[in-house]
Chains A and B, each alone.
Chain A
Amino acid sequence: MSIKSDDQVAKLTRHVKLLEQALLDEREAKKALEQKLDDTEQHKFESYKELISALKQANNRQVQLKVLSTLAHHQAISTSTIEMLTTFLVETSQLLEGAAVFLFDYKNPERAVCYHLNATASKLERLFHGRIDITNLLGDIEEDDSHWRHLQSAGNEWGKITKHFTNNYLISFSYQRLKKRKNLVIIDLPHYCYSKDVKQTLDTAAQQFVSTLQKRSTEEKLARNFHQLERTVKKLKNTQKQLVHSEKMASIGQLAAGIAHEVNNPIGYVKSNLSVLGEYVEIFNKALNEAADHIPADDELSFAQEDIGELMASCHEGIERVADIVSGLNSFSRKDDEAKFSAVNLNHVAEESIKIAWNQVKYNSEVVTDFDEDIPAIDGHKGELQQVLINLIVNASHAIEENGLITIKTWSDDKVHISVSDNGSGMDENTKNKLFEPFFTTKPEGTGTGLGLSISYAIIEKHSGDIAIESTVGEGTRFILSFPRK
């Protein structure tokens, strides 16, 4: 039995060995076949590998472009820098599966303002009431590098901000927000295991954001400079206009002074001679009366005797009028000193001027006052200022045919103002331009001298004041006088 069994065991062992060998042979043959198959597949794969790779790349690019174009769109439509910044941070946070975002805004790293992004509300919220020192935090960060970088956590060295970082990984990037202001963005996330495409998208988005920010900053700067230039040009134009006007008025003043001087002498002796002539006429009349009986009756002589008195009176009146005009021209051209100046309240000046002008105004106009009782005093000559106001009030009544309303208003800011407005005929541009020139008048010949406003102009200038006119034909005119506070 045992011999038989031993034979059987030996036989079985041999069978097993043969089977094992067969198995190994089969496996080798299978492996060789698999290798052949693999080579064929490899060959096949090589032919479409590039196609697959291109497709994958195209898909990734599509995602990347979608994110970047969304950001570019937001950046284009954002009205403010802060809105653009918030959108950029929200998009970045979303791309990183809602990671926590912190923003540090600072000029001096020792006094930075810390914000936390509330992505749901798209809002940056202050994390602390006060400012915090981020000097240690900035220690490891490369300046102005718009790439996202790993930030090695330094534990408590960063101060009270540390406890707000809940994850193990922080990435950061910093940029220049304004000329002196910088921003540091820190993202607190469980990991930064994202594909190269996502990381590249984040870097591109950051660079795109910084470029847009810089472009905006340049645009804002240009816009500011442009507005400043516009203001300067406007100011220059006004100054030029004033200068031309002052120059014109000064030339006219000189001319007026020359005429006044030249006319004054002949007027002087004509006036004096007229007085003497009057006395001589009286002597002649007396002599003629005494010798009347010896002189034959002569109608012409009688008429001459009667008429000579009227002629003399008329000459006196004429010469007085010429003297008045010369005096007016002198007032316009004279640069008196300011020794007689004292504190003057424009409300009082206006009240007294209304009283004086009332007789001329009452027939066709009503005078309304709107005084600011608290206006400060100005430094001036009360009589001269009254002269100006009377002139303006009377002129206003002349511009009115009936049912006129003359309003006198006072107010103050950095200057003290008084305005006289009427609802009369108004003035055209040509009239406005010539208004202050001597002898310019719109009144009928013989009614005005045309010196009133030119004298008023000289008085206001002497008071270091300004005069402005608002006028519309058919609606009325408003003169605004402005004086420096005392």
Chain B
Amino acid sequence: MKGVIFCGYRDYVEQAHGIVTWLEIIDRSELAESSSFIATDLYDDKILVELLTIGAELLDTELSELLRSFGVFLFPTLAGAASHHMDACDNVFDFLDHVENVIHIEVKKSDPTAYTPSLILDKVDDQTLLLKYTSHRQVCFLAEGLIYGAANHFNEDVALEHVSCTHRGDKNCLLKVTTK
């Protein structure tokens, strides 16, 4: 996982709950070697999963809910890094059509052979989009948050339905995005 996500998570925790909470999370972590992450480096996925799980426990919230709100927070950071792609889009469906370019570019920059999640979409009609999320990290809730973040960015109101989810034993995660 790219360091920028770790930095984003730190910023999110610090802004919402203060630096001490962040340091507390790092203190409880067994995998994190430092409270500081370098945005351009790649880190083990397990570290982020552990930090997120500790965060949810500490803040007494569901992991899925934490991931969602973290996604919303993270979106502008990622969008800023891929502003030339963002400029080509004027709505959330357009953005999702380019999403792979936006989210993967950051990882591929550090390591062109690095694993990236797959987001494949199908436009069912003008208001409905179906999104298949495939990642061994299984952080589909983060994807949900990022979609909400994208909707905020384009001033659109979207509804998300997790049609199927690997966390519920389904074969893959299917997200139905409906614009209102």
Chain A interface (Cβ < 8 Å from any Cβ of B) = 30-31, 34, 37-38, 41-42, 44-45, 48, 52, 150, 152, 168-169, 190-195
A48: chain B residues at CB < 8 Å are 112
A42 touches B130 (CB 8 A): no
Give the 9 A-B residue pairs with the shortest CB-CB distance, closest first: A193-B132, A192-B122, A34-B39, A45-B109, A41-B109, A193-B120, A37-B40, A193-B122, A191-B130
Q: Does B5 contact A (CB under 8 A)?
A: no
B163: chain A residues at CB < 8 Å are 168, 191
B124 touches A194 (CB 8 A): no
Closest to B131 in A: A193
The listed residue (A30, A45, A169) touching B130 by CB distance below 8 A is A169
A191 touches B174 (CB 8 A): yes
* Docked complex Cα distance between A288 and B30 (Å): 168
* Docked complex Cα distance between A41 and B130 (Å): 33
6 examples of A-B residue contacts, CB within 8 angstroms: A44-B109, A45-B109, A52-B108, A191-B130, A192-B130, A193-B174
Q: Does B38 contact A (CB under 8 A)?
A: yes
> Known contacts A190-B164, A193-B120; is A38 also within 8 Å of B40 by CB?
yes
> Known contacts A41-B109, A150-B124; is A34 also within 8 Å of B38 by CB?
yes
* Docked complex Cα distance between A129 and B130 (Å): 36
Residues 9-39 of chain B, each 1 if its beta carbon lies under 8 Å from chain A, else 0: 0000000000000000000000000001011
Q: Does B47 contact A (CB under 8 A)?
A: no
A34 touches B40 (CB 8 A): yes
* Docked complex Cα distance between A194 and B134 (Å): 12
Q: Does B121 contact A (CB under 8 A)?
A: yes
B179: chain A residues at CB < 8 Å are none
Q: Does B105 contact A (CB under 8 A)?
A: yes
* Docked complex Cα distance between A52 and B81 (Å): 20
A30 touches B36 (CB 8 A): yes
Distance (whole angstroms) from the CB of A9 to the closest CB of chain B = 18
* Docked complex Cα distance between A150 and B125 (Å): 8
A194 touches B40 (CB 8 A): no
* Docked complex Cα distance between A169 and B81 (Å): 36
The listed residue (A34, A44, A45, A190) touching B174 by CB distance below 8 A is A190
Q: Does B110 contact A (CB under 8 A)?
A: yes
* Docked complex Cα distance between A37 and B4 (Å): 12
A34: chain B residues at CB < 8 Å are 38-40
A194 touches B122 (CB 8 A): yes
Closest to A192 in B: B122
B110: chain A residues at CB < 8 Å are 41
Closest to B105 in A: A45
B108: chain A residues at CB < 8 Å are 45, 52
Most chain A CB within a 10 A radius of its CB, from B36, B39, B81, B109 = B109
Closest to B100 in A: A195
Closest to A34 in B: B39
Interface of chain B residues 92 through 113 with chain A (CB within 8 A): 105, 108-110, 112
Distance (whole angstroms) from the CB of B12 to the closest CB of chain A = 15
Distance (whole angstroms) from the CB of A219 to the closest CB of chain B = 37
B36: chain A residues at CB < 8 Å are 30
Most chain B CB within a 10 A radius of its CB, from A30, A34, A48, A168 = A34
A192: chain B residues at CB < 8 Å are 122, 124, 130
B125: chain A residues at CB < 8 Å are 150, 152
A31: chain B residues at CB < 8 Å are 39
* Docked complex Cα distance between A44 and B111 (Å): 11
The listed residue (B38, B40, B120) touching A195 by CB distance below 8 A is B120
The listed residue (A30, A42, A168, A193) touching B38 by CB distance below 8 A is A30
* Docked complex Cα distance between A45 and B130 (Å): 31
Distance (whole angstroms) from the CB of B94 to the closest CB of chain A = 15
Closest to B36 in A: A30
A193: chain B residues at CB < 8 Å are 120-122, 130-132, 174
B122: chain A residues at CB < 8 Å are 169, 191-194
A44: chain B residues at CB < 8 Å are 109
Distance (whole angstroms) from the CB of A36 to the closest CB of chain B = 9
* Docked complex Cα distance between A37 and B109 (Å): 11
* Docked complex Cα distance between A169 and B39 (Å): 41
Distance (whole angstroms) from the CB of B165 to the closest CB of chain A = 13
A41: chain B residues at CB < 8 Å are 40, 109-110
* Docked complex Cα distance between A193 and B174 (Å): 9
* Docked complex Cα distance between A31 and B4 (Å): 10
A52: chain B residues at CB < 8 Å are 108, 112
A169: chain B residues at CB < 8 Å are 122, 124, 130
Interface contacts beyond A31-B39, A191-B163, A195-B120: sample of 8 additional A-B pairs, CB < 8 Å, sorted by A:
A34-B40, A38-B39, A38-B40, A44-B109, A45-B105, A192-B122, A193-B122, A194-B120
Interface of chain B residues 121 through 178 with chain A (CB within 8 A): 121-122, 124-125, 130-132, 163-164, 174
> Known contacts A30-B36, A152-B125; is A191 also within 8 Å of B112 by CB?
no
Distance (whole angstroms) from the CB of A8 to the closest CB of chain B = 21
Closest to A38 in B: B40
A168: chain B residues at CB < 8 Å are 163
Distance (whole angstroms) from the CB of A45 to the closest CB of chain B = 4
* Docked complex Cα distance between A37 and B2 (Å): 14
Distance (whole angstroms) from the CB of A405 to the closest CB of chain B = 82
Distance (whole angstroms) from the CB of B164 to the closest CB of chain A = 7
The listed residue (A37, A45, A150, A152) touching B112 by CB distance below 8 A is A45
B130: chain A residues at CB < 8 Å are 169, 191-193
* Docked complex Cα distance between A265 and B146 (Å): 123
B164: chain A residues at CB < 8 Å are 190
Distance (whole angstroms) from the CB of B13 to the closest CB of chain A = 14
B120 touches A42 (CB 8 A): no
> Known contacts A41-B110, A45-B109; is A191 also within 8 Å of B132 by CB?
yes
